[in-house]
Structure 1
Amino acid sequence: MQTWTALKSYFISLGDECPKQVQALLKLNRDSTVEDEDIVEIYLLFCNNILSLFEEVVKSLESNRTTCVELYSIMDEFRQKLIQRRDDQFYGYLTRQKLQRLLPHDAHMARAEFTAFLNTAISYVEKWFDFSEENWLFSLQPLLLQHGNLTFNQIEKVATKLNLINKLKMNELYDECTTANTILRRLREEYSDAWKSKGVAARWMAVFKEVDVPNMLSIMRHILSIPASTGYVERIFSRMTNKWSDCRSRCSVELIRSELLITLNFEQTCPEFHTTALKDKELLSAARSNKKYSWKKK
C-alpha cells in the first residue's frame, strides 16, 4: 500500500489505454469523486491486511520444518484469528482509521462486505479441515512439547489413533513417559526461550539424546515420517523440471538425481564448498578422472 498513490497515478496516466476492468475496479473514470477514491483505498487496505494472514499460514504449512504434529495448531490459530477479527470488526488499523472518515452509509456497506468475506473464509476453512477432537491431528497436540507434562493417556491415545498399540511395549512406554517428563522439565529450564524457538523435531531430538526411550522413539519415527503438506515434494518436482530442461535432455536420471540431492541437502555456501573440496583429495582425484564419463571407452 506504500505504492498506492504512485500506482493510481500510473493507471490514470494511461488514459483510455488503461484496461476498463482496472478503471472500474479502482474507480478511475472521470466521474469518480474523492470519496470513491477513499473507498477503493479502504478495500485495498483491507485486502492487504487480511491476505497477510493467509500468506503467513501458507508459508507455515509449506515450510520444510513443519511437521504433522503442528498442523492442527496452525489451522486452529488461523481460524481463531479470522473469528476474532470478525467478532471485533477489526479489518486492519489503517482500514479502521479510513472507515471513520467515510460517510455512515459507505462505512456500513464496507464493514458488511468485510464481515461477509471473513464469514466466507471461516466457513471454507471449517469445511475442509476437521477442527473436532475426533481429528487424529488433535490427539498429537501434546507432542508439541511446548509446555506441561506428557501423560500416558495422551501417548496411548496417539498410539491408538495410529494403530501402533500392538507394535509397542505399553508397560515400558508408561515408564518412559515418567522419564521423559523429568528430562523435559530440565530442558525447558536449561534452554528457556531457545526451547520455544526449536521445531518439534529438534525438541524430540534433544530428548532422545538425553535418554533411551525406544517406544517413544518408535512413535515419533512414525509420526515425523508423515509429511505435513505436499509443498516440499512439489518444490522437488519444480527443481527437477528446471534441471531437466530441453537443452539438457540428454542428462541421465542418475545425474539429475545427484544434482537434486546436492541442491536439497547441501547447506554450505559456494566459498565453503570450495574450501572443503580442495581438502578432499579423493573427490579431486575422481573429478579429474574419466570415471564420470560412463560412455567413454576404456
Structure 2
Amino acid sequence: MSSITYQRISKFWNVAPSSVSESLRKSLLKSFFDNNDGLCTLNFLENVLVDIQHAELKLQHEHTTAVDLYRIISDLIKKLEQRLDDHYFGNKAYMILNSLKESDKNKAEELQQSFESFIKVTIEYTNSYFDKNRNFYEKLSVFDCHFPRFLKWEYIMDVLDLIKIDDLDKDELYNEYCEIKFMYNNLKNKNVKLNELIKSYILNKNVHNPQSTTYKEENLLCDDSDNEDFLLRDNKDTDENVRFDQLWSYLINLKGATPNIKKIICYVFSIPCSNAYVESIFSQMNHLWTNYRKRMDIQLVAAELQIRKNSSIPCNDFYKSIISQQDLLKAITTNDKYETKRRICSQ
C-alpha cells in the first residue's frame, strides 16, 4: 500500500503516521477491511464512481466539444438522481446493508443516509459549475443528433442569437437547413446503417497510402483518445454511437455548397467543453518549442502544431509524401524560404 493511501486511511482513523508501528498499522487496516461498514462504503464508492469516471473520460476526449457537454452532464445527473430514487448503491452494498439491518438497523440506516448524502453533494457540486451556463449548452445541443431538439429550426435560431456570426445570410441558411434536414431524414428512413456510411466516409477521407496505412475502424466513431476505453465501449453496430461532429462533416460533404451552415458548425464545434484539449496543446508545445528549437518563428511553430493535431498520416507515409514532392524539397534546401527575412535586413 502506498504511503499516500496509508496517510489518507490513518487520517480517517485520527492516527498520526509517525506514531504508528508497523504491527498497529496492519491491525488498523485489517480491522477496516474486515468491518462490514468499511466494506459497504468501499463497494458503494466502487459502484457510484464508475458513473462519474465514465462522464469524466468523455469530457477528456479530444473530439468532445461544447455541443456534447449538456448531454454528458445531464446524463450523469439523471443517473445519480435515479440512484437516489431507487435507493440503489450497488449489489454488494445492498447485500451488506440487508445483512446489517438484521443485526444493527440503526447502523444500516446511518450508512444508507451517508450514501444518499454523498450523491446529493455530488449533484449539488456538479450543478454549481454547470448551472451558470446550462441554458447556453442546452441550446447548443440542437446540433447533437442524440438530442430531441436535433435540427429544430427554432432552436437553431436561438443559437444564432447567442453566437452572433457575421455575414450570415439567414434566408439562404434556411434553404440549406431544409436540404440538410430532408437529406438526414431520408438517410434515417433508408434501410442503411448511418454509422456505416459515416465510417466509410471517414476511412476514405483519411486514406493517404493504402499500401502502408491501416486504420482501426472501431476507433473512428467512438472513444478514440482514452486508455480506459473499456469503460466507454458500447455496441458500435447501432446509430446511437454516431459521433455527431463526423455526422455533420458527412452531411455537409454530401450536400456540397452550404456556406452558412458550415460557418455555424465550424464555430460551434470549435468551442471546447473543458480544458483537456487546451492542456493537450501545451503538452505538444513542451516537445515542439524547446531550448534547442527556440529560434523557430511563431508561424512555423503554429504550422507544425496544426500538422500534429490534425494529421492522421503515419510517420512513414508522411516521410514518403514529402520526398515525393520535388518542388517542396527544392524549397527546403534553398534560401527561398528566408526571402522575407533577407528583404527586411537589407532595408
What's the TM-score bracket when you normalise by the shorter of the two chains?
Answer: 0.7 to 0.9
**Structure 2 Cα separation of the partners of residues 230 and 34 of structure 1:** 38
Which has the larger displacement, 259-268 or 151-160? 259-268
Structure 2-normalised TM-score? 0.65
- Corresponding position of 1:156: 157
**Structure 2 Cα separation of the partners of residues 82 and 45 of structure 1:** 16
- Corresponding position of 1:225: 270
- Corresponding position of 2:173: 173
Superposed, 1:15-34 pairs within 5 Å as: 19=6, 22-23=9-10, 25=12, 30=27
Q: What is the Cα-based RMSD across aligned positions, in Å?
A: 3.7
CA 1:20 to 1:267, structure 2 compared with 1: closer, same or farther past 3 Å? closer
Which has the larger displacement, 56-65 or 168-177? 168-177
CA 1:46 to 1:242, structure 2 compared with 1: closer, same or farther past 3 Å? farther
Structure 2 portions without partners, runs of 5+: 14-23, 197-238, 339-347
- SS of residue paired to 1:267: coil
Superposed, 1:74-89 pairs within 5 Å as: 74-89=72-87
Residues 67, 200 of structure 1: 8 Å contact kept: no
What's the % identity of the aligned pairs?
Answer: 24
Residues 59, 273 of structure 2: 8 Å contact kept: yes
**Structure 2 Cα separation of the partners of residues 272 and 53 of structure 1:** 40
1:196 is aligned, of 226, 240, 247, to 240
- Corresponding position of 1:4: none
Pairing 1:58–2:56 present: yes
Residues 176, 261 of structure 2: 8 Å contact kept: yes
- SS of residue paired to 1:145: coil
Structure 1-normalised TM-score? 0.74
1:47 is aligned, of 45, 48, 52, to 45
- SS of residue paired to 1:137: helix
CA 1:153 to 1:30, structure 2 compared with 1: closer, same or farther past 3 Å? closer
Residues 184, 207 of structure 1: 8 Å contact kept: yes
What's the CA shift for 1:119?
A: 0.7
- Corresponding position of 1:184: 184
Superposed, 1:1-298 pairs within 5 Å as: 19=6, 22-23=9-10, 25=12, 30=27, 36-102=34-100, 103=103, 104-130=105-131, 135-146=135-146, 150-164=151-165, 167-188=167-188, 189=190, 190-194=192-196, 195-211=239-255, 212-242=257-287, 248=292, 252=296, 260-273=305-318, 276=321
What's the CA shift for 1:237?
A: 1.0
CA 1:40 to 1:136, structure 2 compared with 1: closer, same or farther past 3 Å? same
Which has the larger displacement, 73-82 or 151-160? 151-160
- SS of residue paired to 1:53: helix
Which has the larger displacement, 147-156 or 73-82? 147-156
* Aligned residue identity for 1:163: K
Residues 42, 98 of structure 1: 8 Å contact kept: yes
Residues 76, 131 of structure 1: 8 Å contact kept: no
- SS of residue paired to 2:277: helix
What's the CA shift for 1:273?
A: 4.7
CA 1:268 to 1:42, structure 2 compared with 1: closer, same or farther past 3 Å? farther
- SS of residue paired to 2:64: coil
Residues 32, 38 of structure 2: 8 Å contact kept: no
CA 1:258 to 1:205, structure 2 compared with 1: closer, same or farther past 3 Å? closer
